[in-house]
Structure 1
């Protein structure tokens, strides 16, 4: 089969990695790197041996698929232009600023029979992929995503900066409608929410307690999941799973036997796996691993959490959380 003509729109920190992956894949012909800063586009394009452009509209009719790695406020406009030009789209998370924008992208992709994938990169962590096959009916989930302060993500709340990763994974694992969301959080260093907690209650009774902080002294990304007869601890950073299962009947005053299974997974290239999955969905005409609908669901939950943080500050809190229409940190 002929190679897919690809391009990367946005030549910043993540865009450079996307360009490198497309250039390395045998079924991809990287046509161009695009950035409004043409010098930056040229710098990355020279590294990977393709053309540099300053406008994404110059790609119309020249590419089959694109990665959109620009600031969130531009996601909708750029992605819609590329879908209307006939290109499949991989857009970074969060997919858009508003739900109306997300709905328009989903409809445009559906009407044109194009793939729309959202860049929730943590789904391609090998430990997360292994976890999916172990989960049946989770009843309680607890996640902690902690990081030291980084000014690059400080222009939005920690919900869109960090928590949205765990929101997406939890929604995918539970697979049930949300019944209730309760959230609180506070600004500590920045002018927006820096540490937040959300309690997600699902229609089937499952509860998820989600905490995210960007003012921690250490970096930690962990999730614990409880379901009938088993407990699973996931460490995103170390790519490991600790699975505990009961063996034999429970009752009669006896402590059940606990079987332990610890698994560690080799370090992988999540961005490469994400792009390979995107191209595979195009080749075979199948639903992307992280579809537009998945991205919208995570965005809707993050927006509701952010709304609560903005409208119901904690007692004594003088600063307000960022509006739910704020942009994600400039990922360039």
Structure 2
């Protein structure tokens, strides 16, 4: 593989633009190509100022790149990821990894068969690592998360569970060694025609309870989490980047000022590139971890349908 990795991005929307600029600015990487079969003009407008090329076909695109980011709509994640893996390219997939477990399994199977790195873009892990939350030696007893955003035309191909809540589902799974046991949920359908608000309570097999409140119908943006441990509590306001900690275990009060948190996407992409080069044992979030979050998200959606 070339010393300077040639990055390629599938999808020329907002997230595709973010990823394209990270490849263009990453050490030891260049942006070589952008592919968007539905918006070729937008792909060209993104690629050209960054010194890259927009490609008309997937095959031409894959021949011109070494690593691929899939930043297309979620419903097309599996298609792009599997095509790249079959061409021998390591893949970074924006969250969610896929929209079905069968598609997630297909991605993981292809990656395992070809011994290729697959990363997924659950960037909130970067924030928790910088805070020191993953270093607390206790298992949490309870988690309460709120993730609210205003109505937007972005990500309407999936429910609020796969759009917003899945971030906090992944964090809960990362914080606890326990396995989800039961899920209860209620929600509302509004402007997208799908679930735009959802509240779920998940009970784990060790008694850990997690409550998730996600909405893309809110007037105000809210991002918060409360974690209860045997020794105390941690309350985090992700909007103001402030927290309160009574556990006795040290957390980094300046986490928001660390380079990793100031650009979590760059941190995540650079970790993926390091794993591809063999300089790191793994990306920040593996395909297997992303599939666990997807599994739980789909369980929440089934609970929403059952309670409708």
Q: Same fold (TM over 0.5)?
A: yes
| 2:132 match: secondary structure | helix
Cα distance in structure 2, aligned partners of 1:245 and 1:71: 40
**TM alignment of 1:1-332, pairs within 5 A:** 2-36=3-37, 37-125=39-127, 130-134=132-136, 136-245=138-247, 262-263=253-254, 265-266=256-257, 268-284=262-278, 286-313=281-308
Q: Which has the larger radius of gyration?
A: 1
Following TM superposition, by how much is the alpha carbon of 1:54 offset from its aligned partner in structure 2, in angstroms?
2.4
Unaligned runs of 5+ in 2: none
Following TM superposition, by how much is the alpha carbon of 1:136 offset from its aligned partner in structure 2, in angstroms?
2.4
- Give a deviation string over 1:156-210, Cα, whole Å, max 9, x none: 3211121111001111111221111111112244422222111111111110011
Please tell me whether the aligned partners of residues 183 and 305 of structure 1 are also in contact (alpha carbons under 8 angstroms). Answer: yes
| 1:152 match: secondary structure | coil
Please tell me whether the aligned partners of residues 125 and 239 of structure 1 are also in contact (alpha carbons under 8 angstroms). Answer: no
Please identify which structure carries the higher helix content: 2
| 1:238 match: secondary structure | coil
- Give a deviation string over 1:274-312, Cα, whole Å, max 9, x none: 101110111126222111111111111111111121232
Please tell me whether the aligned partners of residues 130 and 252 of structure 2 are also in contact (alpha carbons under 8 angstroms). Answer: no
Q: How many residues are aligned here?
A: 302
Following TM superposition, by how much is the alpha carbon of 1:67 offset from its aligned partner in structure 2, in angstroms?
0.5
Following TM superposition, by how much is the alpha carbon of 1:48 offset from its aligned partner in structure 2, in angstroms?
0.7
| 1:151 match: secondary structure | coil
Please tell me whether the aligned partners of residues 242 and 263 of structure 1 are also in contact (alpha carbons under 8 angstroms). Answer: no
RCO (CA 8 Å, sep 6+): is it higher in 1 or 2? 1
| Structure-2 change in CA distance of 1:304 and 1:63 (3 Å) | same
Structure 1 stretch displaced more, 220-229 or 235-244: 235-244
Unaligned runs of 5+ in 1: 248-258, 314-332
Please tell me whether the aligned partners of residues 243 and 262 of structure 1 are also in contact (alpha carbons under 8 angstroms). Answer: no
| Structure-2 change in CA distance of 1:45 and 1:224 (3 Å) | same
| 1:226 match: secondary structure | strand
Cα distance in structure 2, aligned partners of 1:127 and 1:112: 30
